[in-house]
Amino acid sequence: MSDLLNTLEKYNQSHLMKYFSELNAEEQQNLTAELESINFDNIAKLTAEYVLKQPETHIPADLSPAPFFGLNSKNDAEKELYSQALEKGIELLKAGKVAALTVAGGQGTRLGYDGPKGTYPISPVENKTFFQYYAETILRIREKYNCDFKWYVMTSILNNDATIQHFEENNYFGLDQDSVMFFAQGTMPCIGYDGKLLLNSKSSLAKNPDGHGGTLLALKKSGALAEMAQNGVEYISYFQIDNPLVTIANELFIGLSALKDSEMSAIMLAKTNAFEKLGNFCVSDNKLSIIEYSDMPEELATATDENGVLKFIAGSPAIHIISREFVERLTADGTLNLPWHRADKKVPCLNEEGVLATPKTENAVKLEAFIFDALPLASKTLILEADRNSEFAPTKNQTGVDSVESCRDMLMERDAKWLENAGVTVPRNEDGALDCKIELSPLKFIDAEDVKNYCASNTVNISAEDSIYLS
């Protein structure tokens, strides 16, 4: 105990023991254990680097746009490569060498929903939660490829129990319990602007999940990585909890990654404008990296080629294929030092009177690691373009851009396109907008082919203003 007190004093953190004498034995034990688990030397370094000054992003002088494989093959050789990649992807899926990984440990602050984001009812007609939507997609993937397609779900201490409860209450949405593994990511203490850590209660610190970059180490520490190896999983299909449009079993993407020995691959979308809020794929010193939109110098963001097309056109929707061996290599010694990113937050903490209160203005820094900072650490990478309308419907807010509304609209539009492609007449207004509500159950339909096959032997009639659910 005296060691701990000395350490706290040395690093100017003694205030964390202010209420110690008021605590019962168990609470005292918890606080002691929590404080002993913190590397205060490291916190002091991080405070100096990220809290007491605004960290600057270094933009390398040789920064150039990253090359990518286009949506469609551009010559015969590439056509052949895409066709081999498709075949390879299907083969890997059928052999059970691919698993899904959803990162769902975030706090979902912008959505303003009281519960894990994955438990938010998102589907446009049936109000299925994100988790149900993915679970049903995975059931269909398992059926389609006749494979074991395991699902790894990363949670955080803030939402792990509520997430598992959601699955239990819903009988895992038809999945067998063994095919879903939850694992919690690490945390970081929130650091006050004066460098002092904050108390969230008299016996615990204010902490935040350590960012989606925490996924890699959490995979290792939780045993999920070892389990993947045991089950013969070679590729991880990584996606975020709030994008139900994502193609989880993307045959071409998986196959290309395998044929090109890519350790970490990324989907890219053509940015709609220079300042769209997507990370930019860039290359420097032959290494792929992502520069956040907020860090991209304006002259680079707006630079165009001779055809007037943005040079840095490739934006990241955070969809990756990651090779299991890459994660094993990165985390072999049980550590992983990705750079940290600073976010200024209003962190609830005990005030002078010892009462939990949310400050009116930002009071602390939340440090997070980002998954894309692993890209430069990969020996080989690749980027594949995807069609935004069938791949990316991020759900960050309730309304407006990247919202529940826009996500539902995109899901309905994608489903409508699949139906139209299969010969079904979908009611639309003069301006082309849907004049009905449509939802296709992912239990049965995960791609255009599924819908085509269904429509070949079933008649689908949709009238204006209908609300249609096909399952």
Binding site for ligand UTP (CB under 6 A): 103-110, 117, 154, 156, 185, 209-212, 214, 240-242, 368, 396
Give, for 416, the enclosing helix (H) or strand (E). helix 404-421
* Helices 2-10 and 25-36, packing angle to 10 deg: 50
Residue among 32 and 107 whose Cβ is closer to ligand UTP: 107
To the nearest whole angstrom, how small is the minimum distance from the Cβ of residue 462 to ligand UTP?
33
What letter represents residue 435's amino acid? D
CB-nearer residue toward ligand UTP: 362 or 449: 362
- What kind and span of H or E run contains 36? helix 25-36
Closest contact distance (angstroms) between CB of 212 and ligand UTP is: 4
307 token code pair = 């055809």
Q: Nearest CA to 314 among 264, 276, 273, 268? A: 268
Task: Kindly state the smallest distance separating residue 458's Cβ from ligand UTP, in Å.
Answer: 35
Length of the chain measured in residues: 471
For residue 341, the minimal CB distance to ligand UTP (Å) is 10
Distance in Å, CB of 111 to ligand UTP, minimum: 6
Cβ nearer to ligand UTP, comparing 110 with 444: 110
Residue 280's DSSP bridge partners are: 291, 315
Burial of 407 from C-beta contacts in 10 A (0-12 / 13-18 / 19+): buried
| 242 vs 391, beta carbon nearer ligand UTP | 242
Q: How far apart are CA 318 and CA 384, in angstroms?
A: 12
**Which residue sits closest to ligand UTP, CB atoms considered?**
106
Question: Nearest distance from residue 307's CB to ligand UTP, in Å?
Answer: 33
Residues 411, 125: contact at Cβ < 8 Å?
Answer: no
CA distances from 88 to 28, 99, 450 (A): 56, 15, 20
Instruction: Report the nearest approach of ligand UTP to the CB of residue 242 (Å).
Output: 5
| Nearer residue to ligand UTP within complex by CB, 117 or 150 | 117
Please answer whether residues 266 and 320 qualify as being in contact, where contact means their C-beta atoms are separated by less than 8 angstroms. Answer: yes
156 or 441: whose CB is closer to ligand UTP? 156
The answer for residues whose C-beta is within 8 angstroms of residue 447's C-beta and 6 or more apart is 247, 418
| CA 183 centroid distance within chain | 14
Residue 66: CB minimum distance to ligand UTP, A: 21
The structure tokens 């988790």 sit at 131
In terms of CB distance, is 96 or 105 closer to ligand UTP?
105
Beta bridge partners of 357: 349
The smaller minimum CB distance to ligand UTP, of residues 119 and 203, is found at: 119
Closest of 300, 35, 10, 242 to residue 118, by C-alpha: 242
